[in-house]
Structure 1
Amino acid sequence: MPEGHTLHRLARLHQRRYAGKPVAVSSPQGKFTDASTVDGHVLVRAEAYGKHLFHRYEAGTVHVHLGLYGTFSEAKLPVLPPVGQVRMRLAGSTHWTDLRGPNRCELLSPDQVDAIKARLGADPLRRDARPEQAFERISASRTAIAALLMDQAVVAGVGNVYRAELLFRHGVAPMLPGRALDPVLWKEMWADLGTLMRHGVRTGRIDTVADEHMPEVTGRAPREDRHGGEVYVYRRAGLPCLVCGTPVAHQELAGRNLYWCPACQPG
């Protein structure tokens, strides 16, 4: 599932491509039946909150959650016939964009949009984020910090990669109970998370490795993974830690794969 930086990157792209102008909105697949309500209307704003994307028109807001399989593709005009199951198509003055396979694509009222945002925790990429609110929930919980970071009601936008890498970068054992996390350490983690995710927005990939551990410095082979980016522990189970050489550990936690270094993240 795409992590929050991907949705913010898409929101910025759609803001540049379509905002402030009338947009032709259709559903070649036919499943987004409310497309006609916003078709031809001006896109007021595209924004992301966590893993949610919102296209706000005066007639309502289109809410998209990509889920596991959703993808956007775009091209310059002219518009070509749809290929495959296109849930929603946007066509503007210079580009057109197709949405396929989302978990949600729906038209919402302002109250419904507010209700979604109210359920979400602090988003490190939003200016209105409240990291102290996230820590209130973390510090009141016996749940493992690794599980809390993946809870969208605690921190919105963090997925498996950022969760594993953030904990490694700060030497935090993934099974540490939330209530045992030091508040000063949380502030450092929050600031670091924002820096990492903003880099992801700019580049479209997740990079978490310090310069001194990069392939061109250490001589190791670059990482090959469809997600891209250089990481410390994510999907590196059994491989030597880039810092200490200890084999990276792996287990399932709440149905998701968890990776960490037992030596660098003792607990």
Structure 2
Amino acid sequence: MPEGHSIHRLARQFTDVFGGRPICASSPQGRFAEGAARMDGQVLEAARAHGKHFFADLADGHVLNVHLGMYGAWSFGGDERFDAASSIGAPRRIGEREVHADGAAAAEPDRDDDGWVLPPPPASTVRLRLRAEHGWADLIGASTCRLLTPEEVGEVTAKLGPDPLNDDAPDLFVSRAARTRRPIGVVLMDQSMVGGIGNIYRAESLFRAGIDPWTPASSLDAETLRALYEDNRLLMRHGVRLGRIVTVRTEDRPGVADEDAWPEHANYVYHRQGTVCRVCGQDAIVMEEMAARKLYRCTVCQG
């Protein structure tokens, strides 16, 4: 499942390429036919994210809400003015790098009678296709795709925890975490506690803080919880900028730039079980199960 930084990148891209422009909308799969018909011909004003939820404001006041879930993905295409990633979500073809797979310039696309870029026929699995003058976006496999009123959007976001990438203060997260004895590794993945943190940021931020994921959240003091939230804000901002999750501090990957760190030098513990820890030098990274999700930690640094 894409983590919060990917959804924020997606919202920025949507605003850049669709914002303020009329769109054509269709549902080749048919499961969103009524919603697509309502969207068709409208201006998409802007897009935004909260945690793992994507929202796009339409001129008639409705809001498109998409949650990609485990299997959802957006794919994009268009001309040279359509600066969007090839894919965000799962499956990913070339990650989130905003370049062509072979680095070559794209051929001039075909256009329809109105001069709009003409996309290829959609796959039968496309839930929603959005088109603008210079390109298109296809959605497949999302767990949620719906139109909401602003009041309904408020109901959705009220159930979510603060989003570090929206510059939300950590106070609500700190107060909620301090009242539960659930492991902090579970709390960080609970979207009602904090929005946007997934399995990678959970594992990596806890390692960076030297915290055992099994530690009851209520046993951590407010300063520690606040610092953990702020470190996730920092890491997720890097993720938005890079299009990759890179959590290893520069001093622990000497000579390797941020842009070159993924994948070999990107993470401390995530998917590194059975390897030597970058900090303690011990073969101490393990993979365990926590609340039906894989958990990665160093038994020495986080003992």
TM bin (shorter chain): over 0.9
Describe how 1:154-233 pairs up with structure 2 within 5 A: 154-214=193-253, 216=255, 224=263, 230-233=266-269
**Aligned-pair CA distance for 1:224:** 4.7
Structure 2, unpaired ranges of 5+:
79-116
Q: In structure 1, what is the Cα distance between the partners aligned to 2:172 and 2:138?
A: 36
* Structure 2 residue aligned with 1:53: 54
Identity across aligned pairs (percent)?
A: 44
1:153 CA drift (Å): 0.2
Residues 114-193 of structure 1 mapped to structure 2, 5 A cutoff: 114-127=154-167, 129-193=168-232
Q: Aligned with 1:130: secondary structure?
A: coil
Match of 1:96 in 2: 136
- Indicate conservation of the 8 Å contact 2:4/2:197, yes or no: yes
Partner of 2:136: helix, strand, or coil? strand
CA distance in 2, matches of 1:24, 1:120: 31
Task: State the Cα distance separating 1:186 from its structure 2 match.
Answer: 2.0
> 1: CA distance between counterparts of 2:129 and 2:120?
11
Q: 1:6-21 alignment to 2 at 5 Å?
A: 6-21=6-21
Structure 1 residue 191 displacement after superposition: 1.8
1:260 is matched with 297
Segments of 4+ moved more than 4 angstroms: 222-225
User: 1:72 aligned to 2:74?
Assistant: yes
Q: CA deviation at 1:232?
A: 0.1
Q: Distance in 2 between matches of 1:215 and 1:21?
A: 45
User: Quick one: distance in 2 between partners of 1:231 and 1:107?
Assistant: 37
The 8 Å contact of residues 28 and 123 in structure 2, kept in 1 or not, is answered as: no
CA separation in 2, counterparts of 1:224 and 1:84?
Answer: 33
* Of 58-67 and 144-153, the range deviating more from structure 2: 58-67
Helix, strand or coil at the partner of 2:130:
strand
Change (3 A) 1:189 1:113: same
More off after superposition, 158-167 vs 176-185: 176-185
Task: Count residues with an aligned counterpart.
Answer: 258
Give the counterpart of 1:86 among 120, 126, 133: 126
Please report how far the alpha carbon of residue 84 of structure 1 lies from its aligned counterpart in structure 2 after TM superposition. 4.0
Instruction: Read off the aligned partner of 2:194 and give its amino acid letter.
Output: V
Which residue in the other structure is 1:110 paired with?
A: 150
Coordinate RMSD, CA, aligned: 1.5
- What is the letter of the counterpart of residue 49 of structure 2? A
TM-score, length of structure 2 as denominator length: 0.82
Query: Within 2, Cα distance between the matches of 1:95 and 1:209?
Result: 36
Tell me: CA distance 1:164–1:70, structure 2 relative to 1, closer, same or farther (3 Å).
same
Give me the whole-angstrom Cα distance separating, in 1, the residues matched to 2:255 and 2:165. 30
Point out the more displaced range, 148-157 or 20-29: 20-29
Q: Paired residue for 2:3?
A: 3
- Counterpart CA distance in 2 for 1:130 and 1:87 is 35
Residues in 2 aligned to 1:223 and 1:205: alpha-carbon distance in whole angstroms: 7
Q: How far apart are the structure 2 equivalents of 1:84 and 1:110?
A: 31
Question: d(CA) in 2 for partners of 1:216 and 1:258?
Answer: 29
Q: TM-score, normalised by structure 1?
A: 0.93
Please tell me whether the aligned partners of residues 246 and 262 of structure 2 are also in contact (alpha carbons under 8 angstroms). no
Q: Is the 8 A contact 2:28 2:124 kept in 1?
A: no
SS at match of 2:138: strand
Summarize the Cα distance change of 1:43–1:251 in structure 2 as closer, same or farther, 3 Å threshold.
same
The match for 2:286 among 210, 233, 249 is 249
After superposition, give the CA deviation of every residue in 1:193-221 in whole Å (9 maximum; x if it has no partner).
1111011111111000012222756xxxx
Determine the C-alpha separation between the residues in 2 that align with 1:215 and 1:32. 49
Secondary structure of the residue aligned to 2:176 is helix
